[in-house]
Structure formats: C-alpha cells, structure tokens
Chain A
Amino acid sequence: MDNRVSIRNVSKIYGKGCDSCIELTGPEHGRNRCPKCGTIVACADIGFDVYPGEVLGIVGESGSGKSTLVKTLYFDEAPTTGEFYLQDFEEGLSNVYGLSSLQKRYIRNHLMGMVYQNPHLGLRLDYSAGGNIAEKLLMADWNHVGDIRERAKELLTKTEIPIERMDDKPKYFSGGMQQRVQISKALANNPPLLLLDEVTTGLDVSVQASVLDLIRQIGRELGISMIVVSHDFSVIRMLTNRTIVMKNGRIVEQGLTDQIMEDPQHAYTQLLINSLI
C-alpha cells in the first residue's frame, strides 16, 4: 500500500440508533442528533488517506466530530463502523479496528503517538518528565534503563525542555512546557504516525509559535506522517499539505490546503474562510 494510513467509512454513533440516523443528520440538516431517536452521530462516512511523510489537517468548528474521529484512530474510542489500514502493520492488509485489544495496544505503543489538547490526558502530571517518556518507551519494549534515560534526554533537548528539569513533575511546568513534554513522550518510540489534537489551543501566541515550530521541525526531520486537528486555520496553514473540512460529523470538503483557503468549494468552507480575521 502506498498510503501510510487509509480510513474507510468510519462512523461513531452514541445511542441505540435507528434506520434514519445517518439520513437525517449531517451538514445539510445542520445537526448531528437524529430527530427520530435522539442518537448522536458524532461522525459518519469518513474516508481519507495519509501519505508517507505527509501532514494532513482536519479542520471544523467544535462539535464537528474531528476529535471523536482522532480518538477512534488512537483506539481511545471504538468506532461504530469503519476500516483503518496502517502501512506499517502487516503491510496495510489488516483492518486494525478489528484486532484484539492486545494487538491494538501493540500498534498504539509501537506505531503511533498522540498529543492531546489537554496535557492531563497525555501525561501523568505526578510522574517526572523523564518518567513519562520512560513509560512510553517501556511499553514499546525498551528495557535498558541507561538507553531510556539517554533517549529521554535527547527528546527533552529536542523539545527545548532544560535537562535539569527532567526529574521534575510536569504539574509544576507551564502549559507550553507540558505540551512539549507531551510531544516528547509521543515521539519517544519513533512512531510513523503522530496524531495532534488541538495542541496549541489555549497557549500564549509566543508559546504557540514555538510548539508549532517544533512540530514542523519534527515532520521535516523525521518524515513522520501527522494528522493535525485544529479549529484554527492559521495552524492548519502553517503545518499541513492537505486539509479535510468537517461539519456535523461529515467531511464536507478535502483538498490541498492552499486550495481550501483560496478556492473553497463548499458553502460551509466558504463561510469559514470568509469569517477569518
């Protein structure tokens, strides 16, 4: 398979569901709650590919289903339907959603990294910064303490965390530093796929710039494929080659990022672009 990631027909539905859920929700109805049975269709009919070394953006307002989608990719949530193929797992021939939880854990620990908007979700704030990285490495079968410490130092240096803070707990770090520790942790096992969910939301502009800078540098130097979820077009423009636009749980448009911004096709994307300040 040429794609590092292929996603087909993914949906996530909360509720008992009925025959009309899909038909009566989505952007043309402006809702993701089925009017018949009250089921929430967080996302549906999602399909896309990510190429090796590519950065794909997913943009949309809050409630568009973009975070739910990313959670299903990291197996934080099980999708209701769908297929997910990873080039680095059995040459992309197995739908990884269908694997046992043990195999999913293997993929998560060895082939993926995730950075959450909220550092609480990605870090143990009571463990040391180095300990957080060690945790990820142990799960990826690193077992030499000296190697682990070396790798942790290397990652913290890369993300500009002073080495002397390595044994401090992230709960005493600033938001930007916590986010950089989270990125170190996510990168620890050299994953071919990195997922980033609103990683700069809520940070000061200067801190935001340094985190974005770091992500760009990682993408260039390590050739990692990334999926960047953001509601912020300036983040998307800075980081991504291609972009998916979501609304009410569906993809309304996908294209080259500069095309999405300069020649948006869908009414909703035009509204978003025209609303930029």
Chain B
Amino acid sequence: MTPHLHIENLTKTFTLHQFDGKQIVGCTDINLDLEHGEFIGITGKSGAGKSTILKCIYRTYIPTSGSMMYHSDTHGLIDLAKAEERDILEIRQKEIGYVSQFLRVLPRVTALDCVVEVLVEIGTEKAAAVAEARAILSHFQLSESLWESYPNTFSGGEKLRLNLARAMVKRPKFLLLDEPTASLDQGSKASVRDMIIELKRGGTSMIGIFHDLEFMESVVDKEFNMRNGIMVGGYA
C-alpha cells in the first residue's frame, strides 16, 4: 500500500515584490512519507519552516516545487501541490483537519455553533451535530458556560481547544496540528492526548508541530527536526 502522503522535494520560496523581488526561503527539499494511521512530529526553532510545510500541504501556501502525493478517499491518488482548487476545497472539507495556534472565527457565531457548522457542512443532521459538538466541547473541557457565547473574547487556551474541537469533531482521515498544546494546562493536554489516541485508533494519519517535546514523544511514531528550512534529523 502506498503511503497516505508522500512528499518529494517540497520547496517553498516567497517572493516579496515590494522589496524588489527579495526571496525568503520557507522550506527546501523536504522528503517525507506518512503511512496510514501514522503520526509524525516535527520539531525545530520558530522560523525553521515547520508551519510552512503544513500550510503547503493544506495549500494555504502554493508550493514552489516538489510534489505531495496524497491518498484521498474521494479523489484517489492526487498531487496536492497541483490539484485543482475545487478538489482541494472538497478534500479539506471531507478529509483534512487543520488546527492552528490562531483561531479565526466569524463574528456573532457561538462556540457551539461553530463546531455544529463543521458537521452540518459534511451532511450530518442538525440534532446529531449538536449532540456531537456538545460531546467534543466537554471532552476538551471547555466550560459549558462558554458554549453559548462568542469566541472572540476567549482566552488563548480556550480558543485553541475550540479549534481542536472544530478540527477533530469530523474525525478526519488526515490531521495537521500546528502546536496543538501551546498555552494549555496539564488537564487540557491530557484531553488532547486522549483524543489523538482515539483518532489514531480510528485510522487518522497526523503531522504535528510541537515545542512541547515531552508531550510529542508520548503520541508520535516518528519525529523530524528542522533547521533553516531543511530537515536535519529523523528518528523512528
């Protein structure tokens, strides 16, 4: 069986037109195989290019060169680097979850609704969606008094847990985690670990970026270290 994701020679360079076309290197020549149900952790200093890789996979960034062959349930084997935008949108909606450190929510949508929405979009019936959303918010220990309020006013940790709930509630086949434990207390971290283990058991493949090495080592199968946009070391 081919890997869930096979990245070959992925390079991302940014061209800044306002600074005379100055080039900024995001990552260079990244090669990586993610097996089905595997969890790969990426470590490295901030600015090393870790998030660049995740954003290229999610296609928030357009890769400069290289390929990312992804095994999609709905589209078969597809190169995420060159896939049509409509295919990317569909794969994102149905198969890929992305948890970032920042929460970008819409004004006037409550925390509960913003999780319900994700499920309704993939065709879950409203009542079932509400029940699942409530379950996952309590799993991540987001205080029930916050469910019917707007997330704009949430603390960093609360926003992150809401993000985790949004991404994980649809049980994606593939999950990208950009520092999923930043600013979380020990209790919340344990709830994140439990959910990661549960998803892995369900067959979800994951790539995560971590600063919290102790947490990472408790969940990942493989880890890679990055420096200046290059992968410098890997350990199984």
Contact = CB atoms under 8 A, between A and B. Distances in A.
Contacts of B85: 242, 255-256
Interface in A252-277: 255-256, 258-259, 262-263, 265-267, 270-271, 274
B11 to A, nearest CB: 14
User: What is the predominant secondary structure among interface residues of chain B facing chain A?
Assistant: mixed
Contact of A259 (B14, B60, B104): B60
B135 interface: no
A209 interface: yes
A199 B85 CA distance: 26
B60 A271 contact: no
A212 B106 CA distance: 10
A259 B86 contact: no
Contacts of B117: 220
Nearest to B86: A51
Interface in B61-95: 61-62, 85-86, 88-89
Contacts of A158: none
A263 B14 contact: yes
Given A262-B61, A263-B14, A263-B61, A216 B86 contact: no
A114 to B, nearest CB: 24
Given A241-B89, A256-B85, A259-B59, A271 B18 contact: yes
Given A209-B108, A258-B60, A274 B89 contact: no
B60 A270 contact: no
A212 B107 CA distance: 9
B88, B107, B120, B121 interface centre (most CB from chain A within 10 Å): B107
- Residue in B17, B18, B59, B108 with the greatest tally of chain A CB atoms within 10 Å: B17
Contact of B18 (A212, A255, A256, A267): A267
Contact of B60 (A209, A242, A263, A274): A263
A54 to B, nearest CB: 8
Contacts of A263: 14, 55, 60-62
Interface string B16-55: 1110000000000000000000000000000000000001
A216 B60 CA distance: 22
Given A259-B62, A263-B61, 15 more contacts: A54-B89, A213-B108, A213-B109, A220-B117, A238-B107, A242-B85, A255-B85, A256-B59, A256-B85, A256-B88, A262-B61, A263-B62, A266-B17, A267-B17, A271-B17
Interface of B: 14-18, 55, 59-62, 85-86, 88-89, 104, 106-109, 117, 120-121
List the 6 closest A-B pairs by CB distance, nearest first.
Answer: A267-B17, A263-B61, A258-B60, A209-B107, A262-B60, A209-B108
21 contacts: A54-B89, A212-B106, A220-B120, A238-B106, A238-B107, A242-B89, A255-B85, A256-B60, A256-B85, A259-B60, A262-B55, A262-B60, A262-B61, A263-B14, A263-B60, A267-B17, A267-B18, A270-B16, A270-B17, A271-B18, A274-B18
